[in-house]
Amino acid sequence: MDNSFDFIIVGGGIVGLATAYKLQKKFPNLKLLVLEKEDHLAAHQTGNNSGVIHSGIYYKPGSRKANNCVEGRKELVAFVKEHGISHDLCGKIIVATDESELAHLDKIYQNGIQNGVEETEYITAQQIKEIEPYCSGIKGVRVGCTGIVDFVALTNKLAELVSIINPGSKILTQHEVISIKNERDISIVKTSKGEFIAKRIIFCAGLQADRMARKDGINLSEQVVGFRGDYYELTEKGKHKVKHLIYPVPNPDFPFLGVHFTRMTNGEIECGPNAVFSFKREGYGKTDFDWKDTYDALSYNGTWKLLLGNIKFAANEYRRAFSKRLFLETLQKMIPSLTMEDIKPGRAGVRAILLASDGDTRDDFRFEYKDNSIHVLNAPSPAATACLAIAEEIVKNVVKQFKI
CB-neighbour burial class of residue 184 (10 A; exposed 0-12, middle 13-18, buried 19+): exposed
Given a cut of 80, is residue 254 above it in pLDDT? no
Assess whether 340 and 386 both reside in one domain.
no
- Span 167-195, mean pLDDT? 96
Residues 338 and 302 both lie in one domain: yes
User: Mean pLDDT, to the nearest integer, of 112-128?
Assistant: 98
CATH number of the structural domain spanning residue 239: 3.30.9
DSSP 8-state code for residue 379:
-
Confidence of residue 179 (pLDDT cuts 50, 70, 90): very high
Residue 125 lies in a domain: no
Pairwise CA distance, residues 244 & 48, whole Å: 20
Same domain, 19 and 159: yes
Q: Which CATH number goes with the domain that contains 9?
A: 3.50.50.60
Does residue 33 fall inside a structural domain?
yes
Tens-digit pLDDT profile for residues 312-335: 888 888 898 899 999 999 999 999
**Longest pairwise C-alpha distance within the chain:** 66
At residue 317, what are phi and psi to the nearest 5 degrees? -65, -40
Any domain includes 251? yes
Residues 25 and 170 in one domain: yes
**Is 259 contained in some domain?**
yes
The answer to whether the beta carbons of residues 46 and 96 sit under 8 Å apart is no
Q: What is the pLDDT of residue 252?
A: 80
167-176, 214-223, 357-366: lowest mean pLDDT where?
357-366
Give the model's pLDDT for residue 313. 85
Q: Are residues 290 and 349 in the same domain?
A: yes
Same domain, 231 and 313: yes
Are residues 339 and 394 located together in one domain of the fold? Answer: no
pLDDT score, position 253: 73
Predicted local confidence at residue 2, as pLDDT: 84
Contact in structure between 281 and 224 (CB atoms under 8 Å): yes
In a domain, 177, yes or no: yes
Whether 248 and 335 share a structural domain? yes
**How much of the chain is helix, strand and coil, in % rounded to 5?**
35, 25, 40
What's the confidence (pLDDT) of residue 255?
66
Give the model's confidence band at 74: pLDDT under 50 very low, under 70 low, under 90 confident, else very high. Answer: very high
Angle at 79 between CA 76 and CA 83, to 5 degrees: 140
Q: What is the pLDDT of residue 17?
A: 98
DSSP for 9-57, written as a single string: EE--SHHHHHHHHHHHHH-TT--EEEE-SSSSSS-STGGGS--EE--S-
% of the chain exceeding 70 in pLDDT: 100
Q: Is 144 left (phi over 0), alpha (psi -120 to 50) or beta?
A: alpha
User: What is the SS3 assignment for 205?
Assistant: coil
Rounded Cα distance between 372 and 68, Å, is 25
Listed range (22-26, 111-115, 370-374) with the worst mean pLDDT: 370-374
User: Are 36 and 163 part of one and the same domain?
Assistant: yes
253 vs 82, higher pLDDT: 82
Range of 260's domain? Answer: 223-361
Which bin fits 403, alpha (ψ -120 to 50), beta or left (φ > 0)? left
Q: What was the pLDDT predicted at 251? A: 84
> Does 230 share its domain with 347?
yes
Would you say residue 252 lies in a domain? Answer: yes
User: What local confidence, expressed as pLDDT, does residue 403 receive?
Assistant: 83
The number of residues in the chain equals: 404
- Asked if the structure places residue 136 within a domain, the reply is no
Domain count of the fold of the chain: 2
Please indicate, yes or no, if residue 51 is contained in any of the structural domains: no
% pLDDT > 90, the chain: 89
Compute the distance between CA of residue 28 and CA of residue 8 in angstroms, rounded to an integer.
Answer: 15
On whether both 305 and 328 belong to a single domain, the answer is yes
Report pLDDT for 371. Answer: 87
* Residues 229 and 342 both lie in one domain: yes
